[in-house]
Amino acid sequence: MNVARLARRPVKVTQSFTKQSIRCRSSRAASTCPMPSQKAGPSFPCVEAHAARESRILASSSKSTFAPRPQPTAPPNSGPEPPYARPSPSSYKVYHHSEPLALVYAPSLPEFDIAYETWGELTPARDNVILLHTGLSASSHAASSELNPSEGWWEKFIGPGRALDTNQFFIICTNVLGGCYGSTGPSSIDPLTGQPYATRFPVLSMFDMVRAQFCLLDHLGIESLYASVGSSMGAMQSLAAAWLYPERVGKVVSISGTARSSPSAIAMRYAQRSVLMADPNWNNGFYYDGLPPHTGMKLARQIATITYRSGPEWDLRFGRKLRAVPTSDSVAYSDPSGRKLPRTPALCPDFLIETYLDYQGEQFCLKYDANSLIYISKAMDLFDMTASSLSSLYLTPPPPRNSLPPLPPSVSSHPRSPSHAAYHSHLSHSKHHPPPANPPPHLSELAEGLSPLSNTPTLILGVQSDILFPVEQQREVADALRMAGNQMVSYYELGGVWGHDTFLLDVQNVGGAIRGFLS
């Protein structure tokens, strides 16, 4: 959802409320809604912020012009933050697919759009294509381009001489099916009703998203990919692409992903969906002609942010430091007897770590569509490449790969021999984790599920401080691939304190590993 677009739409309110009652409904400030029991009570700026945001949305809507909302102030020492660019419709290309797309969990989507951007030049043989998959909430705008010169979310990883080298590769990044940055998702108009799908949108699978991407590749006349590259949710898609189309994917890069979402990760995403769906504005997903669930989105993003970073980073970056308070508040207090009192702590954000979460939530809450967040995070939860799970989806199994597949063009000079594998292994400087001698049943099941990737050179990269996709899950994927007979698994394990967000920040190590693997 685009805030500017939202602001220009007339805001309808539900029949039960006047505008005044809506303002009161979401306002928790005594000054706007008289509360008989609260005489000159304390005020809570962090709670009033929700009502103030709502007032800004209503005001900008009623003026039919987009008044830029005040940006929240970044906490001091705000440290490295990944950019998330919000694209305008003119800044990306759109492929319209007018045929139905069969889905995993539902009969089909009658038609769909895929928004995408590209960097570099396609060779005449169309053999230098990298499909870059996004994380949950990122758009197709991975890097600046002529169409959109603003910084992308992987700006420093894409360009001449960079990890994804535009001198060599033609890079395509799409906004996923289910998203809200130009591709068809819950906020799109259902051609059958003329209304937004909202929660009538079918539940999506990661495999649906990848199939939609390959419809785009078909349209572009691209038969095979040099590589499928992704981080976080993008890593799931990267693996799914090679599973669905083993003959069309030359190499796989999976960074901070998993082949099987864990109960812990599901729990964290469930907590986010819960707070979002409990926002009265969510209205069972039917909010497109009213106010969006901006408070729920802020709360959900706060929870998500906790999973994106690591405790050690926060220890270093924030420690137990408090926000700066106005000078008048910072003087020492004393009680009537003259005893000194410390500064009074606030129940609203007071520690810098709290102001950081507040800031991240506020920055995000109107940038992304709530239903897209729900559908895509659910698709992540559902992702499971163990054999039994895959077979329960009734997906057409990929053809058996008795013979070695054709090599990606640029590595065709390296025969797939033990020496080739050794060469790869040397290049990657990977830690070796030979598959366990007595693997647990789920690992054998995962190896069986991943068997279509048994001949696909694969880079698995994980980060030791990642609490969302912990490094054990990276090892699990690497082990399962090796158990499936894949002798071209490069496994990297990075240190550092950035947790899951490392893939957005550590250009040197993440970028270097990718560049080495793709070369």
Provide φ and ψ at 458, rounded to 5°.
-135, 130
Single out the segment in contact with its own copies by CB under 8 A; choices: 70-78, 113-121, 221-229, 287-295: 287-295
Helix-helix angle 19-26:45-62, to 10 degrees: 150
Sites for its own copies among residues 197-226 (CB under 8 A) = 198-200, 203
Which is closer to its own copies, CB of 349 or CB of 462? 349
Under the binding rule (CB under 8 A), the answer on residue 107 touching its own copies is yes
Q: Verify binding: residue 284, its own copies, rule CB under 8 A.
A: yes
Residues 11-30 that bind its own copies (CB under 8 A): 12, 14-17, 21, 24-26, 28-30
| Shortest spacing between CB 53 and its own copies, in angstroms | 11
Stretch binding its own copies (CB under 8 A), from 3-11, 34-42, 58-66, 218-226:
34-42
d(CA 367, CA 219): 30
Task: Read off the DSSP letter of residue 166.
Answer: T
Integer Cα distance of 160 and 167 in angstroms: 5
Q: Contact between 104 and its own copies (CB under 8 A)?
A: yes
Tokens of 270: 């469930």
Residue type, 425: S
Tell me which residues are annotated as active site: 232, 466, 500
**Segment near its own copies (CB under 8 A); pick from 168-176, 233-241, 256-264, 410-418:** 256-264
**Which residue's CB is nearer to its own copies, number 164 or number 353?**
353
Which CB, 251 or 269, lies closer to its own copies? 269
- Closest listed residue to residue 197, CA positions, set 375, 366, 346: 375
DSSP string, 38-88: -SS----HHHHHHHHHHHHHHHHHHTTS-PPPPPPPPPSS-----------
Instruction: Evaluate whether 217 touches 117 at the Cβ level (below 8 Å).
Output: no
Q: Of these, 382, 459, 477, 510, which contacts its own copies (CB under 8 A)?
A: 382
Q: Does 342 bind its own copies (CB under 8 A)?
A: yes
Least spacing, CB of residue 513 vs its own copies, in Å: 26
For β-strands 340-341 and 333-334, DSSP reports them as antiparallel
What is the phi/psi pair of residue 209, to 5°? -60, -40
Q: Which is nearer to its own copies, 135 or 349 (CB)?
A: 349
- Among 135, 185, 285, 292, the residue binding its own copies under the rule CB under 8 A is 285
Give residues 126-165 in contact with its own copies (rule: CB under 8 A): none
Residue 228 β-bridge partners: 131, 252
State which of residues 184, 187, 188, 261 lies at the interface with its own copies (CB under 8 A): 261
Number of H helices, E strands in the chain: 17, 14
Q: Tell me if 441 contacts its own copies by CB under 8 A.
A: no
Q: Looking at 167, 392, 419, 508, which residue binds its own copies (CB under 8 A)?
A: 392
Q: Are 79 and 316 in contact (CB under 8 A)?
A: no
